[in-house]
């Protein structure tokens, strides 16, 4: 087995910088390379490495990932004046060009490929390339986030071509999501991409939905994209180690990579102004050490971000020192991952469960989500319930306008949708099983939710309305079965197969709702076989909290337990009880059995007679059976 560590660096890559005032870009400075290189010298690590010269990446190599049109754009910046450079830079997000950028970007690609060649040829076992510009954000036709050519993505394509590799692992420990790498290999099962990143529920740059844990890859590449989104800042050594132990390493050992490429950004380290994380330089030694146990030790680390010069250079040294097989430093801090980290880890594991044996017999995903008006009440819900933020306003508008152009214009209506859409979306995408949403206008939000369901491709939705909520629905096609449980006799409406009114008056003395649920609602619901259920609780409800909980409890046998409960009037006791039931706690105690009132019994009898032709599970006598069929 090869030994030795390559170090690839050329000070020509410090020859470009930001030429104008732009606070968004002024952190990406030549000193990042200089200080890292100086620190390697100071620790006498440099002299222990094999020095490999850089070269330019060729156009053919760059075009393994990028389009020729984009290559021409970058090439054209060589001869531009400042004004032209500013204009081109402005076409991209968080990017600046300098006349030397093109040359350096080619050197960064070439340095990365030199490293791959050194490792693959057996000249060395592993190594690091200190390069600028970084690469992981850049895309087929776009520069992005200081990145011009995608050094690591090009290296993976190159290694596949040149060395016939079938499995490459890319570990992106930079604090930003390398969406550029994700896009290149999304459908490619031969490249496993792992990234953790500051995400904060999509509030952190690059603000992408596809940075979340449920982006698992596409087509043949499903299962080969691992995103660990950090929803809080301040993640430290134990959080990073936990993500390695419980997500990356089990999957990586099952994947059996032939080569590891590390998108080695150190803005995930302590002190970095971008990352705001807490991992100490020693942590990178441990991360490196774990990865060295895979792929026969064939590991290529390629610099990405890192803006706190001291933290950056110390962490670079820790990485190189470990590659050189020095003993590992002690890792500091209490060894306990924080709750937010564990939550992210659990979510990635659940999302990847279908694709990896090591995750298969594991953690159930979060079952219940709640979106409530008063966030201060969140602590009153069972701890297993995931409390959602309201949906991002822009995302909501986009979603709503696609289905209902009029609705978007009404601020109040739109607001009432926020919670409902956020939870429904989670249920439809199977991120959670069921959920509760408070909504100020249950009629508007339920009507919209139903539209959204059918747009998503559902066939049958059972909608049970308790209280006064007017839904404007077309109920002829059987895609919705609407059951209205109300107090007042609705004289003008007669029951039809898909629109049923159940007049029910709860008796304060006796809990007798069993009679309605067992004798009517469940048999009809089971006959219908819905693929989602929506329970809407409006004003003037004729059912108490216990009755609503019982209903919710027993309906969980249908639609794979997919239930959305929409509650109009903020009522924490009700939310609490329903949340308990949805998360699996048995129905509340009803006290001693009491038979239903005469009035209620007659109502159920009337409905059964009326509808048993249509809903055959209502039959419970031979007479029903013979005369009904």
Binding stretches for ligand TWS (CB under 6 A): 23-24, 27, 94, 134, 137, 145-146, 174, 176, 205, 265, 267, 273-274, 304-305
Beta strand segments in 236-291, E: 259-264
Q: Helices 309-323 and 281-291, interaxial angle, to 10°? A: 30
HSE at residue 26, side-chain half, CA atoms within 13 A, is 5
Return the number of the residue (267 or 388) whose C-beta is nearest ligand TWS.
267
Task: For residue 485, give Cα distances in angstroms to 229, 307, 436, 491.
Answer: 43, 61, 19, 14
Residue 477 CB, nearest approach to Zn ion (Å): 51
The CA distance from 233 to 247, in Å, is: 19
Active site residue 286: no
Return the number of the residue (274 or 404) whose C-beta is nearest Zn ion.
274
Residue 301 CB, nearest approach to Zn ion (Å): 15
27 makes contact, choosing from ligand TWS, Zn ion, none, with CB < 5 to 8 Å by partner type, with: ligand TWS
| Of 66, 98, 136, 137, catalytic | 137
Residue 328 CB, nearest approach to Zn ion (Å): 25
Residue 92 CB, nearest approach to ligand TWS (Å): 11
What secondary structure letter does DSSP report for 11? G
183 makes contact, choosing from Zn ion, ligand TWS, none, with CB < 5 to 8 Å by partner type, with: none
| List of residues contacting Zn ion (CB under 5 A) | 174, 176, 265, 267, 305
Q: How far is CA 572 from the centre of its chain?
A: 29
Residue 128 CB, nearest approach to Zn ion (Å): 17
Report the residue closest to ligand TWS, judged by CB.
305
146 makes contact, choosing from ligand TWS, Zn ion, none, with CB < 5 to 8 Å by partner type, with: ligand TWS
Residue 204 CB, nearest approach to ligand TWS (Å): 6
What secondary structure letter does DSSP report for 392? P
Angle at 67 between CA 63 and CA 68, to 5 degrees: 80
Q: Which residue has the tokens 């790498």?
A: 181
The CA distance from 153 to 275, in Å, is: 23
Return the number of the residue (56 or 174) whose C-beta is nearest Zn ion.
174
Burial of 79 (0-12, 13-18, 19+ CB in 10 A): exposed
Return the number of the residue (176 or 298) whose C-beta is nearest Zn ion.
176
Assigned token pair, 115: 């490293």
Return the number of the residue (279 or 558) whose C-beta is nearest Zn ion.
279
Phi first, then psi: give them for residue 220, nearest 5 degrees: -65, -20
145 makes contact, choosing from ligand TWS, Zn ion, none, with CB < 5 to 8 Å by partner type, with: ligand TWS
Q: How far is CA 230 from the centre of its chain?
A: 10
Return the number of the residue (281 or 305) whose C-beta is nearest ligand TWS.
305
Q: Which residue has the tokens 């903020």?
A: 570
**Is the sign of the CA dihedral 542, 544, 547, 550 positive or negative?**
positive
Residue 196 CB, nearest approach to ligand TWS (Å): 12
50-52 and 563-567: which strand pairing?
Answer: unpaired
Are the C-beta atoms of 378 and 372 separated by less than 8 Å?
Answer: yes
205 makes contact, choosing from Zn ion, ligand TWS, none, with CB < 5 to 8 Å by partner type, with: ligand TWS
404 makes contact, choosing from Zn ion, ligand TWS, none, with CB < 5 to 8 Å by partner type, with: none
Report the residue closest to Zn ion, judged by CB.
305
117 makes contact, choosing from ligand TWS, Zn ion, none, with CB < 5 to 8 Å by partner type, with: none
Return the number of the residue (154 or 433) whose C-beta is nearest ligand TWS.
154
Q: Which residues are catalytic?
A: 137
């Amino acid at each position: 087995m090869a030994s030795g560590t390559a170090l690839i660096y050329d000070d020509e890559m410090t020859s470009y910088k930001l030429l104008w005032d732009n606070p968004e870009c002024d952190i990406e400075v030549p000193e990042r390379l200089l200080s890292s290189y100086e620190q390697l010298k100071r620790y006498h690590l440099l002299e222990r490495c094999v020095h490999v010269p850089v070269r330019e990446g060729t156009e053919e190599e760059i075009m393994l990932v990028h389009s020729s049109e984009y290559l021409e754009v970058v090439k054209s910046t060589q001869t531009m004046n400042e004004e032209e450079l500013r204009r081109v830079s402005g076409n991209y997000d968080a990017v600046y060009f300098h006349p030397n950028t093109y040359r350096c970007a080619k050197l960064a690609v070439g340095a990365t490929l030199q490293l791959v060649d050194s490792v693959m040829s057996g000249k060395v076992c592993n190594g690091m390339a200190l390069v600028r510009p970084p690469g992981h954000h850049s895309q087929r036709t776009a520069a992005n986030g200081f990145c011009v050519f995608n050094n690591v993505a090009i290296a993976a394509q190159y290694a596949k071509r040149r060395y016939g590799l079938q499995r490459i692992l890319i570990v992106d420990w930079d604090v930003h999501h390398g969406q550029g790498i994700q896009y290149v290999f999304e459908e490619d099962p031969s490249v496993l991409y792992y990234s953790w990143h500051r995400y904060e529920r999509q509030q952190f740059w690059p603000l992408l939905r596809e940075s979340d844990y449920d982006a698992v890859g596409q087509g043949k590449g499903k299962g080969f994209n691992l995103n660990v989104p950090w929803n809080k800042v301040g993640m430290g050594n134990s959080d990073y180690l936990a993500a390695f132990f419980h997500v990356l390493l089990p999957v990586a050992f099952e994947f059996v990579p032939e080569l590891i490429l590390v998108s080695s950004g150190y803005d995930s380290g302590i002190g970095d102004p971008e990352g705001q994380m807490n991992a100490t330089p020693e942590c990178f030694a441990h991360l490196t050490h774990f990865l060295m146990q895979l792929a026969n030790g064939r590991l290529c680390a390629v610099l990405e971000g890192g803006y706190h010069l001291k933290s950056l250079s110390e962490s670079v040294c820790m990485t190189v020192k470990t590659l050189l097989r020095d003993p590992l430093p002690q890792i500091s801090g209490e060894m306990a991952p924080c709750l937010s980290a564990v939550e992210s880890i659990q979510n990635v594991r659940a999302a990847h469960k279908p694709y990896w044996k090591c995750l298969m017999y594991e953690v159930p995903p979060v079952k219940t989500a709640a979106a409530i008006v008063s966030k201060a009440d969140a602590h009153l819900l069972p701890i297993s319930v995931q409390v959602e933020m309201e949906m991002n306003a822009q995302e909501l508008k986009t979603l709503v306008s696609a289905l209902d152009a009029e609705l978007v214009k009404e601020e109040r209506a739109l607001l009432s949708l926020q919670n409902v859409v956020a939870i429904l979306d989670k249920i439809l995408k199977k991120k959670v099983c069921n959920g509760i949403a408070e909504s100020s206008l249950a009629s508007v939000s339920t009507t919209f939710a139903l539209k959204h369901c059918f747009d998503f491709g559902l066939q049958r939705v059972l909608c049970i309305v308790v209280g006064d909520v007017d839904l404007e629905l077309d109920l002829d096609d059987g895609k919705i079965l609407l059951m209205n449980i109300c107090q007042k006799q609705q004289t003008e409406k007669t029951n039809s197969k898909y629109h049923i009114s159940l007049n029910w008056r709860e008796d304060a003395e006796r809990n007798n709702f069993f009679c309605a649920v067992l004798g009517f609602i469940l048999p009809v619901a089971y006959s219908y076989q819905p693929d989602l259920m929506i329970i809407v609780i409006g004003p003037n409800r004729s059912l108490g909290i216990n009755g609503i909980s019982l209903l919710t409890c027993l309906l969980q046998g249908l639609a794979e337990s997919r239930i959305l409960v929409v509650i109009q009037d903020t009522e924490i006791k009700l939310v609490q009880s329903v949340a308990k039931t949805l998360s699996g706690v048995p129905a509340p105690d009803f006290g001693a059995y009491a038979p239903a009132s005469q009035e209620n019994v007659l109502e159920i009898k009337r409905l059964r007679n009326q509808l048993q032709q249509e809903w055959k599970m209502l039959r419970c006598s031979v007479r029903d059976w013979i005369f009904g069929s």
